[in-house]
Amino acid sequence: MFKYILLVEAITFIMFSRYYCPVFVNLREVQEINKKEEKLSLIPLGGLGEIGKNMLVVRYEDDIVLVDAGLMFPEDELLGIDVVIPDITYLQENKDKLKAIVITHGHEDHIGALPYLMREFDVPIYAMKLAIAIIKSKFSELTNVKEPNFVEVIPKDILKFGKMEFEIIQNTHSIPDSVALFIKTPVGNVFHTGDFKLDQTPVDGKLIDINRIAQLKEEGVKVMLSDSTNVERSGFTSSEKVVGLAFDEFLKNSTGRILIATFASNVHRVKQAIDAAVKYNKKVAIAGRSMENLTNISKEIGYLDFPEGTLVALNDINKYPNEDVVIVMTGSQGEPMAALSRMAKGDHRQIKLGPGDTVIISATPIPGNEKSVYKTIDMLFKLGANVVYEKSAGTHVSGHASRDELKLILNLVKPEYFIPVHGEYRMLLKHGELAEELGVKKENVFVAENGYVMEFTKDSGKIAGKVPAGRVLVDGLGVGDIGNIVLRDRRQLSQDGILIVVVTLNKQANKIMAGPDIVSRGFVYVRESEDLMGEARTFVAKNLEDSIQKGTKDWSSLKTIVRDSLGRFFYEKTKRRPMILPIIVEV
């Protein structure tokens, strides 16, 4: 009976405390608030729905760590634009919260935006040795940006930022010193694959740390972000060493010069080309500024090693028989100013191509570059060179994991939530479907867009909103000062040309004193269209005189009359819409 009395008293105390004790209620509220505040946010500012400008915000409470800061090369419609970088408005609004930038590897689409980013932020950059060397070379060319504080990392390092821990995991990609990231937070762990493939015979012998990745499942992975570039390709991506064997075969049987075009950042590819040249006692010349820079950087830090005398200057290659010369160069993407493109057009100062030369394009066209690449190949063939560019030749392999490799990593990690990254939208969608096939719940797969705020607590995950995210256009020294209106004008100029109309007015007498004179560029050749231009001048003069007689004196209105009337006139006569710039001179 005594036990029952105690039980009743205990229940009464709890009920009284629940409804009448403010201290008890406030304590519960505080606990609930604290629980709600414990959240991890993952915000991609670039790299989703596109190939390039990779940038990921990792935020826990008031600490932000940025993973990568890349650029994207402009598409054809971005006339005159040099590069495209992510919109960093969110970072600017949270400037005091940004603690560091962690770089996964040294490709332009992961580091290219740093010179622009570091104009506004003073935080350390954590990266592997090669990535730091490449980034430093970029900053050495700038005069208005001080070199940031670099912290070199190695695999298995653990970086602490507030309550977040970033573990560096050895990776394999098409560039040395590529890493994945395992991020520990109080609400759950995040695994970011970075750009990767499962290369079992990497050129430098540094295998992906598959053992550590397999252990992550035991520690629990709440969220996994994974490279989606090759999700549409079945099977496994071939090893980089396949390319070395192909180079060996071509150099072994060569009877003329061998020219190899590849990405400057593909140090493994350059190493294999040089190694094959050394094996067959050939001299190597480097063509292209970026290729020269990367070769020098890689040699300085010990990533390229070859006997003294192997490299020769381009100016000296004529001193050797053609069959003893190998030229490694830029231009695999048909870039107009790259070494290969200039050789194809016959514009290169030192190299003139012709029959007997073999050009190996050791790359596949980036989406959007196909037209430029195949135009370059056509020009090379016209010069009489033998061009090797087919995938079947074995002179190129991708640096990204194919479908079966992506399956393997997903099965090893078994994440609760999955976010496909680094790919165009169809790639992200296919990768998301693959994760569902392997057991990730449909509602836990986030096929996101740039700017999406993916928020995670211990018990949930959701898309919680969106922050500003887009593209910032870089044109010369201008960053973000080129917008849609300027691009529209450039497009119009490129398609229909420009007309400048000059009229001299006596404003007091309301009389045209001289003109209209019409100057045409990119529209019609004036001498061959004298009748058309004469008719246009008469038409504009009549419209102006009529407007002046009606009392129109405002220059802005008169310019609009010239622009609109002449625009209609030329469209009726030519079905073209040139840009029209009226200039009114008062006397």
| Catalytic-residue membership of 68 | no
Task: Give the model confidence (pLDDT) of 328-378 as tens digits.
Answer: 998 888 877 888 989 999 888 888 999 999 999 998 887 777 888 889 999
Collapse the DSSP code of 574 into the 3-class scheme (helix H, G, I; strand E, B; otherwise coil) and give the result. helix
Task: Provide the residue type at 568 as one letter.
Answer: R
Neighbours of 401 (CB within 10 A): 29
399 to each of 194, 227, 368, 527, how far by Cα in Å?
Answer: 11, 11, 19, 56
Catalytic residue among 400, 431, 475, 496, which? Answer: 400
pLDDT tens-place values along the chain, 587 residues long:
444 444 444 444 444 344 333 433 343 443 444 445 589 999 999 999 998 899 999 999 999 999 999 997 766 665 556 678 898 999 999 999 999 999 999 999 999 899 888 888 999 999 999 999 999 988 887 767 788 999 999 999 999 999 999 999 999 999 999 999 999 999 999 999 999 999 999 999 999 999 999 999 999 999 999 999 999 999 999 999 999 999 999 999 888 999 999 988 889 999 999 999 999 999 999 998 889 999 999 999 999 999 998 999 998 998 999 999 999 998 888 877 888 989 999 888 888 999 999 999 998 887 777 888 889 999 999 999 999 987 778 889 999 999 999 999 999 999 999 999 999 999 999 999 999 999 999 999 999 999 999 999 999 999 999 998 888 777 555 565 455 555 555 665 666 677 777 777 766 656 666 667 677 666 665 555 666 776 777 777 776 766 666 656 666 667 777 777 777 777 777 766 777 777 776 66
CA distance 582 to 585: 10
Strand order in the sheet with 358-361: 283-287, 325-329, 258-261, 358-361, 386-388
Please give the span between the terminal C-alpha atoms of the chain, in angstroms, as a whole number: 114
Question: Tell me, what's the pLDDT at 549?
Answer: 62
Give the H/E segment covering residue 134: helix 129-140
Task: Provide the residue type at 313 as one letter.
Answer: A
Collapse the DSSP code of 30 into the 3-class scheme (helix H, G, I; strand E, B; otherwise coil) and give the result. helix
Say if strands 258-261 and 325-329 run parallel, antiparallel, or are unpaired: parallel
Task: Give the model confidence (pLDDT) of 377-406 as tens digits.
Answer: 999 999 999 999 877 788 899 999 999 999
Beta bridge partners of 358: 258, 386
Task: Give the model confidence (pLDDT) of 219-233 as tens digits.
Answer: 999 999 999 999 999
DSSP string across 100-113: EEE-S---HHHHTT
Helix 129-140 with 289-300: angle, nearest 10 deg: 130
Q: Which of 566, 485, 561, 572 is nearest to 520 (CA)?
A: 566
% pLDDT > 70, the chain? 79
Neighbours of 199 (CB within 10 A): 25
Task: Provide the residue type at 65 as one letter.
Answer: V
CA distance 125 to 146: 13
Question: Tell me, what's the pLDDT at 166?
Answer: 98
| Catalytic-residue membership of 316 | no
CA distance 82 to 579: 24
Catalytic residue among 177, 209, 227, 357, which? Answer: 227
DSSP string across 500-567: EEEEEEETTTTEEEEEEEEEEESS--GGGGHHHHHHHHHHHHHHHHHHHHTT---HHHHHHHHHHHHH
Question: Tell me, what's the pLDDT at 10?
Answer: 45
Beta bridge partners of 170: 179
DSSP string across 334-401: --TTSHHHHHHTT--SS----TT-EEEE-S-PPTT-HHHHHHHHHHHHHTT-EEE--GGGSS---SS-
